[in-house]
Copies of this chain bind each other. A is one copy, B any other.
């Protein structure tokens, strides 16, 4: 019995894997191409070669499907998590952050479609559905960053004069900025991007 999270109905996990994968793939394609609202269930169904009725036996509605896809992405991202990220307090601040940004870059490289959907999600902070899905995660991440920053200050790794709340936001948004830069500037290696951004974050740009 697969863990279901209440999201898609059991029926979805009973059908054969090939069909299931086809649905997932076409959904990813569609949500990558269009925002949630504009993404077309009709097209996903048509391209997946499944019956319309079937779709609604697997998923309650469009939102259900979308949440499932987002969940897939989240789960896939989890497989990239390293020990440094899982146990950040055991490592130096910049080691942790560096690892975090690095796996984001790797993930973006290996799953550009998922990353694209993920980006759309983060951007659309106003939108109802995005709020429902993301708001909580964001808050958790931000507060976790804040704690790490405070720990970093305690450990004399970080400048005590910074605004921990604001820097937490900066750390959070830099994640997206870095992957964004990496995705659209193919002449930079992962390491270059990572090093240069981290250098700037650590030392600032002033003299």
Contact = CB atoms under 8 A, between A and B. Distances in A.
A161 B169 CA distance: 25
Interface in A32-90: 34-35, 37-38
A206 B196 contact: no
B207 A158 contact: yes
26 contacts: A35-B37, A38-B38, A123-B123, A125-B180, A125-B184, A157-B206, A158-B205, A159-B205, A159-B206, A161-B199, A162-B196, A162-B199, A163-B199, A166-B188, A166-B196, A166-B197, A167-B200, A167-B205, A169-B177, A169-B181, A173-B173, A177-B177, A201-B204, A201-B205, A203-B203, A204-B205
A204 B207 contact: no
A207 B170 contact: no
Interface in A176-207: 177, 180-181, 184, 188, 192-193, 196-197, 199-207
Interface in A122-137: 123-126
A56 to B, nearest CB: 10
A94 interface: yes
Interface of A: 34-35, 37-38, 94, 116, 120, 123-126, 149, 152, 156-159, 161-163, 166-167, 169-170, 173, 177, 180-181, 184, 188, 192-193, 196-197, 199-207
Contacts of A181: 166, 169
Contact of A37 (B38, B116, B207): B38
A101 B201 CA distance: 18
A34 B170 CA distance: 27
Nearest to A123: B123
B159 A203 contact: yes
